[in-house]
């Protein structure tokens, strides 16, 4: 089930880290172990992971702070804010569990934990991720949410992160138009502007087709019906 997947373990207790590594090895996954939040954040910015195990009590701070930072991350150099996180905690009270879920934890496991229960939690996380990551299709357009790739009429189209997010928002909203402000928010623009969005739309039309995205009176955009013939395709941008 987890063959080839990569997991980041953020845990400063070496015994717990070894136990988690052994469980992941049994499931066919690779693992990297780090002991502090600062190193974990740096690695998350550099490398994509399929899952994070996060201890709350770390030598350089509270793991909850790292979790909140991850969930709020945006921008091309930021980690993927959607990365599943299983929190490992010794806190058993209801308020702590509610706060962790509100902070963005996908699951949490209480110390001391049973490996069978932990394996079941991991399987549940990946089942939900598989459903949530099902490709979004619109006519001849297909967006893979896990790999963040775009295919149009069977051809791979290389998109920036902002372009992918804008196209995904348009595909999910069809046939409704999306206001410019909503698209800028989805694109994670640090300084939203109509000019920035116009540039992104221009590039998407170059990479797909001039008529693939319609401009709607009032400042919004909408995908065309998605049925443009191969003969109408523009050459893909390099």
* CATH code at position 195: 1.10.10.10
Domain count, the chain: 2
User: Is 149 found in the same domain as 77?
Assistant: no
Asked whether residue 1 is domain-assigned, the answer is no
Tell me which residue of 56, 52, 60, 55 sits closest to 80, measured CA to CA: 52
User: Is 152 found in the same domain as 116?
Assistant: no
What is the Cα–Cα distance from 135 to 214, expressed in whole angstroms?
Answer: 23
User: Which of 59-63, 149-153, 174-178, 227-231 has the largest mean confidence?
Assistant: 149-153
Q: Which class for 217: exposed (0-12), middle (13-18), buried (19 or more C-beta within 10 A)?
A: exposed
pLDDT exceeds cutoff 70 at 212: yes
Residue that is last in its domain, among 132, 154, 178: 132
Which contiguous run of DSSP H or E holds residue 137?
strand 136-138
Reading phi first (left if > 0) and then psi (alpha if -120 to 50, else beta), residue 188 is in left
User: Is 128 found in the same domain as 141?
Assistant: no
| Tokens linked to 151 | 């295919």
What is the Cα–Cα distance from 139 to 126, expressed in whole angstroms?
Answer: 28
Residue that is last in its domain, among 132, 147, 165: 132
CATH code of the domain in which 27 resides? 3.40.50.2300
User: Is 142 found in the same domain as 113?
Assistant: no
The DSSP symbol for 231 reads: G
Please report the pLDDT score of residue 117 as a whole number. 84
DSSP tally for the chain: helices H, then strands E: 8, 14
Residue that is last in its domain, among 132, 157, 185: 132
Q: Which class for 166: exposed (0-12), middle (13-18), buried (19 or more C-beta within 10 A)?
A: buried
User: Is 140 found in the same domain as 53?
Assistant: no
CA angle 127, 130, 135 (to 5 degrees): 160
Share of the chain above pLDDT 90, in %: 26
User: Is 102 found in the same domain as 19?
Assistant: yes
User: Is 222 found in the same domain as 109?
Assistant: no
Asked whether residue 167 is domain-assigned, the answer is yes
Asked whether residue 16 is domain-assigned, the answer is yes
Asked whether residue 237 is domain-assigned, the answer is no
5: helix, strand or coil: coil
pLDDT exceeds cutoff 50 at 197: yes
Mean pLDDT, range 55-63, rounded to an integer: 86
Summarised one tens digit per residue, pLDDT across range 61-90 is 888 999 999 998 877 778 888 888 999 888
60: containing domain: 6-132
User: Is 128 found in the same domain as 57?
Assistant: yes
């Amino acid at each position: 089930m987890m063959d080839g997947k990569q997991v980041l373990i953020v845990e400063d207790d070496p015994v717990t880290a070894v136990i988690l590594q052994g469980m992941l090895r049994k499931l066919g996954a690779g693992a990297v172990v780090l002991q502090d939040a600062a190193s974990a954040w740096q690695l998350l910015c550099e490398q994509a992971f399929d899952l994070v195990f996060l201890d709350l009590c770390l030598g350089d701070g509270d793991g909850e702070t790292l979790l909140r930072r991850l969930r709020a991350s945006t921008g091309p150099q930021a980690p993927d804010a959607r990365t599943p996180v299983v929190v490992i905690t010794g806190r058993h009270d209801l308020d702590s569990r509610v706060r962790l879920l509100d902070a963005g934890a996908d699951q949490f496991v209480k110390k001391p934990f049973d490996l069978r229960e932990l394996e079941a939690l991991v399987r549940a996380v990946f089942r939900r991720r598989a459903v949530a990551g099902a490709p979004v299709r619109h006519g001849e357009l297909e967006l893979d949410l896990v790999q963040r790739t775009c295919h149009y009429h069977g051809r791979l189209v290389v998109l920036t992160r902002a372009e992918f997010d804008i196209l995904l928002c348009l595909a999910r909203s069809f046939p409704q138009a999306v206001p410019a402000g909503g698209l800028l928010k989805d694109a994670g623009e640090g300084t939203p502007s109509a000019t920035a969005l116009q540039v992104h739309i221009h590039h998407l039309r170059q990479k797909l087709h001039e008529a693939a995205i319609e401009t709607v009176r009032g400042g919004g955009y909408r995908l065309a019906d998605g049925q443009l013939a191969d003969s109408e395709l523009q050459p893909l941008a390099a």
